[in-house]
Each structure stands twice: as structure tokens, then as C-alpha cells.
Structure 1
């Protein structure tokens, strides 16, 4: 009987010690009892321990905002008050990404004070919105070049030296090197237009009879901007290209193209 009472008393005392937290292998009581690191910056859900009530508490700086710090957090971690992120004023909007038609523009701002000790994170630092470009080059970008093979090339030297033909002679040809980007299947129907293959560079000559009043051929393209072309003698043959270079007083080599 005595032995039974002793055993019962020992069990009850052990249970009481477990509940009171005075004896429990591996039990923690807060940040001071954590293995290194005792404290964590920012928000870290793994930076947790058990308080004296055996419920989870935290030793990361974000716990001050959520109100679930361990009881000894300030004493052990000595963390100052949370500092929210602060940002500067928005910068100016960037130029429209398109020279003609729909595009995008964006602006940004800088962080002046980074967040610390669980302070509020930074808001968006970039904004983007749509734009519609109306630059002077827009009308040029919409032009469609009409092209023919150089077998249509003409020599405007006039043996009679007629005045209106002399004016044409004074307007020298120029060359434009284009990189083909798109080409329709119909271009394969004729020998001369079959050279219009994707990523192929072609030389296109602007002769005086094809020049408009501003001394340029319509559809001669824009530097690094996609424009469009159509073969005049090959129905359905059309596509797009990008101007790579431009040369004054120039003649394209044999088997090239002409603006018309």
C-alpha cells in the first residue's frame, strides 16, 4: 500500500512539473533559450519558440507588428521600433515604345528609406501604361514600298539634252539595304521575287523617276523600325522589312530591286 501511494505521488508530481514547465526535456521559454541565432530580422516563421504557456511565440522583428513576440523579445533582442519603407516621388514617363500606333510607357521611383525591424514593405517602384504615338515618322512608317526587279532600271541620259530630262539627271539615285522580316508564299511564284526570303538582306535603289517632291522614294523605310513592301508585278507577294543602312549617290549591284 505504501509502495502504491509513493508511485502515485511520483506520477502526480511529475505531471505537475510537466504542466508548470519546470521539467520538460527540450522545453523553451523564449528568445533567450533559442539556439543561434536567438533573434532574426524581418519576417521569419522559423524564428519561433515556445513561451512559458507552451504556445508558439516569435523572435523575428516582424512579431512586433503581429503582436506574437516571445515575452523576453525586447530584453534579448533589443530591437528598436519598426521602420516603414519610404519612397521618393515618381519620375517622368518614358517615351512611348512605339514610333507609330500603340505602345507602352513607364515611370519609376527610388527607395529613400528601406524597411527595417518588421516595418511595412516598399510599394511598387515601377508603373506602366499604354500610349499612342503620333510622331512625325508615323506617316512614313505606314507607307508601303512598291518594288520591282532592277531589270526595269532606266537610263535617263537624254541625247537631245531636253530641260525636263536634265532635271531628272541631277537627282542622283540612293540605295537602301533592307532586312526582310516577313514574306508571303506568293513571292515564290516568280524568279525575281523568290529572292525575298526571311532574314535576307536586299539592296533597293531609289532612282530619280521614282522620287517624290521631297527627293525620296515612298516606302524607303525607317532605321530599325519594321515597315512594309509589296511586289508590283507579282500579285499577292508582300511582306515587311527593316532598314539596315542608307547610302547617298549609290547604285545597287546587279539583280537587286527598285522602288517605283
Structure 2
């Protein structure tokens, strides 16, 4: 009888040990899930690629570009419960995803985004630095649209500066050049070659005097240099509001 009781005690101890280990393993997995990698999660199987993506930032912040064709940019904070990610904009707008390794699978939302993102859509963490190249630029375009400007964006050949060049037509009348660089360091280096008045560029190998058709205004942020040549004060003030004070060119 004593031996039976002893055996029962041993079995109970073993069962409790197994339960404790399983609980510990479950907690460890959940802790790992709370460490969602910072970066850009791009929706797969779209043409062109990168039309929809989620930018996971530090301090549990996010931006959700549901489609580049839209001007609205949901942003806010995110939380993780188990393997479920919730992007929270406000009490009327949130998005839920299932986390699977470096992928986010769209599950549900309290707003209808079926036009852009279907249930089950897969967003994969991008390893292509070219995707990050366009973050600040795309945000600039979206913010300009939010301000009421109509924007037509085009890829054009390089001109004077070394960055990849985008050409924005504003309200069908004015134009902005956006120069994109692989890093902030490369951008700052190229920006340093521009004279204070914006009428010359000297990188040590070549020096160029520039005859602008109007006054130049140079702005910079993150990995881009933005150039506006014109006299529309509304556009100049909008760029100052979105990017910051100009670093070269005509002083208003």
C-alpha cells in the first residue's frame, strides 16, 4: 500500500513537471512573438510589387499603406497577443493579422479594405533595400495629396544631383524634383555639394553653374533631396511643413 502511494506521488510530480515545462515553452513562444521584427512587410502577389505594405517601426508604431493610389495613410500603434498582431488607429479603425515567422497574414478589420487587401493576403518582411528607398518619397506624395494637391509622378533621368530622380507635377502646373539615395549619409554628402544660393553644384570632380528658370528651393529629409523651382508660396510653405526648412536656394 505504501509503495502504491509512493508511486502515485511520483506520477503526480512528473505530471506537474510536464505541465510546468509546457507552460514555460508556451510563454517563451509568446515572448518571441512580441519581438516582431522592425521593417517593411510587403503584400505578395501584386503587380507592381510594393503597392501595399506595412511599416513596423520602433516604439510599437506602424504605418499601413493599403494602396499607393490612395491618399489616406493609417498610422498608430500595434500590439501582439499570442500570434495575433493588431494595428490600432483609433476606436473606429483597427486591423488584425496572424503572425507566421516573417509574414503577416491579414485576418480582419472593422473597416472595409477589400478593394485593396483581401482576407488571407500575405505581407512578407522585405529584404530588398530598394523598397526602403521609397518610404520617405511615398509618404511625401501621400501627404501632399492630403493637403489637397493633385500629383502626377514620373520616373525621369538624373539631372545634376546623383540620386534617383522622380518628377512630380503639382496641380498640373508646378513641378518638384525628388532625388532618392540609398542612405541618409549618401544624401547628405550630395547635398553638401550644393551652394547656399542653389545656383551651383561642385562635387570636387565637376563644377556646374545652374541657370534656373525661377528661384530654386532645396529641402532634405531622411534619404531624399527635394527641389522646387518656382514662386508658388503655398507649395513652398507646404514643403517646409512636411520636410522642414530649406537648406539651400532662395530665402523667403
Q: TM-score range by the shorter chain?
A: under 0.3
Max Rg structure: 1
Q: Which has the higher contact order (CA 8 A, sep 6+)?
A: 1
TM-score, length-normalised on structure 2?
0.23
TM-score, length-normalised on structure 1?
0.23
